[in-house]
């Protein structure tokens, strides 16, 4: 635990050239074919054994020879695919509470490590809960009424609960990184709009569709008044799940009807440019977003579909992309927890299945669940009892940067908003290597490579007539960037 605490203090200083001892342990490879240096590439590595944690290594030589006998990946920057909007996590009520109660110096240091592109991970996308979730301090919506009472004009609408912690922390984040985008997702409509008059389960009654659409409008406008633009919303978090915390069932045809008859027209009437993203649930029900998109009237208002990774396969995103290539794909939730505590296996799984997996299947972002939790996996609001945050803020004041932090950082720090995924071949079968490539708005190229094997692997990256080689340590991930 103490080692991870010191990581927070020292993270800005770990980005240095590798030491003589590192060179002895991980000697640079000999080339598959000689050539003259035509450029250099910067490289950062995180190792499964935690000996390197987002650590800069000696620059690699780019040479004018593309012949190699090593496993190779070919980069084609002329093949431009989806635009990347960002990488990050959810600023839940619990996360904001913990962050906002740090001392000013600790809070500034943590937020810099999370969001500063130069001195930290450069996270660029956050998900907010519209009202309470299973990680809030209590149950609430922005328009709660006494049992049996209604408020069709939303006269009692108020985001006051979020003005305590969410909005101050979000504002501090924007001061560090103004590029950060926000997505909002509700766990439940106000109870008086639902058929069971409870925040737990039930469905939105059709008579309140227009009122609930106005609820979203007021939410977006209220946050805008605080200088926080909501770039996208989903109509319902996990619409096929109900539980003993705020939840609401919303079938695919119901979501299509709500969007085309209420939410879309309300946004149009109020000149709301916030994207409407359908679904927001697991990979295993790809027919849900396609049902929404199959409805021509709903389709006209929908910008894309969002997915979680608790069931099914990431290829579901490509299934939807192939059916609707003009619509965006978003990956919006996965959580770590006590069910899996090995740093190396978690790092590799996140890189392979979530960050590479989602972007190679057309996602424009990749988000983890709680940005921060405490050592007791909370505060929780009747939800997951053993989830892990991207960082852990202990009651003692210690802060741990977890494996989720390093996995996200290998993308968020280097693949900036506005980047595009670019063409990259697959490594040879059985090499144990996986890669994905991007081009940033400034023209720089980024290659992330994962070595899943228990041995060091030397590989080559080929760019036209040029290439570079690198020996990547076992169970490690490398991010390489060049002009």
**Catalytic (active-site) positions:** 238, 333
> Residue 248 corresponds to which tokens in the numbers above?
């609401």
> Residue 67 corresponds to which tokens in the numbers above?
């012949």
CA Rg value for the chain: 23
In 3D space, the residue among 206, 211, 181, 124 whose CA is nearest the CA of residue 303 turns out to be 181
> Residue 76 corresponds to which tokens in the numbers above?
């084609």
| Contact status, residue 239 vs residue 204, Cβ threshold 8 Å | no
In 3D space, the residue among 60, 35, 14, 17 whose CA is nearest the CA of residue 472 turns out to be 60
> Residue 195 corresponds to which tokens in the numbers above?
């058929």
| Contact status, residue 216 vs residue 208, Cβ threshold 8 Å | no
CA distances from 364 to 72, 87, 104, 301, 307 (A): 26, 9, 33, 18, 12
Sign of the four-CA dihedral 52, 53, 59, 65 = positive
Contacts 24+ apart (CB under 8 A), 146-154: 147/197, 149/192, 150/192, 151/190, 151/192, 152/208, 152/211, 154/211, 154/214, 154/215, 154/218
Per the listing, tokens 């299945």 go with 353
Q: Is 111 helix (H, G, I), strand (E, B) or coil?
A: helix
> Residue 356 corresponds to which tokens in the numbers above?
């590479």
DSSP 208: G
| E strands in 156-245 | 181-186, 230-233
Tell how strand 72-83 and strand 457-463 pair up: parallel
Buried b (16+ CB within 10 A) or exposed e, 430-457: ebbbbbbbbbbeeebbbbbbbbbbeebb
H helix or E strand, kind and range, residue 107: helix 104-115
CA distances from 431 to 29, 299, 450, 468 (A): 17, 42, 11, 17
């Amino acid at each position: 635990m103490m080692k991870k605490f010191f990581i927070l203090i020292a993270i800005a200083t770990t980005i240095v050239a590798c030491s003589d001892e590192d060179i002895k342990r991980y000697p640079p490879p000999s080339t598959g074919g000689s050539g003259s240096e035509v450029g250099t590439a910067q490289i950062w590595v995180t190792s499964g054994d935690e000996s390197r944690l987002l650590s800069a290594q000696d620059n690699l030589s780019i040479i004018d020879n593309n012949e190699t006998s090593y496993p190779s990946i070919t980069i084609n920057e002329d093949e431009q695919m989806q635009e990347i909007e960002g990488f990050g996590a959810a600023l839940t009520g619990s996360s904001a509470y913990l962050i906002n109660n740090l001392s000013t110096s600790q809070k500034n240091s943590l937020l810099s490590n999370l969001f500063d592109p130069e001195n930290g991970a450069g996270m660029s996308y956050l998900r907010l809960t519209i009202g309470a979730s299973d990680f809030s301090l209590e149950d609430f919506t922005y328009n709660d009424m006494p049992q049996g009472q209604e408020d069709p004009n939303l006269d009692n609408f108020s985001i006051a609960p979020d003005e305590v912690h969410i909005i101050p922390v979000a504002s501090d984040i924007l001061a560090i990184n103004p590029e950060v985008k926000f997505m909002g997702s509700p766990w439940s409509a106000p109870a008086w709009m639902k058929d069971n008059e409870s925040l737990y389960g039930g469905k939105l009654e059709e008579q309140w569709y227009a009122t609930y659409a106005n609820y979203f409008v007021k939410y977006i406008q209220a946050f805008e008044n605080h200088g926080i633009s909501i770039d996208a919303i989903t109509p319902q978090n996990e619409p096929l799940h109900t539980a003993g915390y705020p939840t609401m069932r919303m079938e695919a045809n119901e979501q299509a009807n709500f969007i085309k008859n209420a939410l879309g027209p309300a946004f149009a009437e109020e000149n709301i440019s916030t994207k409407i993203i359908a679904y927001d649930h697991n990979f295993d029900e790809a027919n849900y977003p396609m049902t929404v998109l199959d409805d021509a009237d709903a389709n006209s208002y929908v910008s894309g579909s969002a997915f979680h990774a608790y069931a099914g396969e990431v290829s579901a995103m490509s299934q939807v992309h192939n059916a609707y290539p003009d619509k965006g794909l978003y990956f919006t939730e996965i959580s770590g927890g006590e069910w899996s505590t090995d740093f190396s296996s978690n790092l590799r799984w996140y890189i392979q299945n979530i960050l590479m997996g989602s972007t190679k299947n057309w996602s424009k972002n990749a988000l983890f669940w709680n940005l921060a939790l405490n050592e007791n996996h909370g505060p929780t609001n009747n939800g997951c009892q053993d989830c892990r945050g991207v960082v852990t803020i202990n009651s003692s004041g210690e802060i741990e940067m977890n494996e989720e932090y390093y996995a996200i950082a290998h993308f968020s720090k280097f693949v900036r908003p506005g980047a595009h995924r670019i063409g990259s071949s697959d490594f040879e079968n059985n090499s144990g290597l996986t890669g994905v490539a991007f081009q940033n708005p400034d023209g720089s190229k980024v290659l992330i490579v994962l070595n899943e094997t228990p041995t060091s692997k030397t590989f080559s990256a080929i760019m036209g007539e040029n290439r570079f080689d690198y020996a990547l340590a076992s169970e490690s991930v490398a991010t390489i960037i060049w002009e």
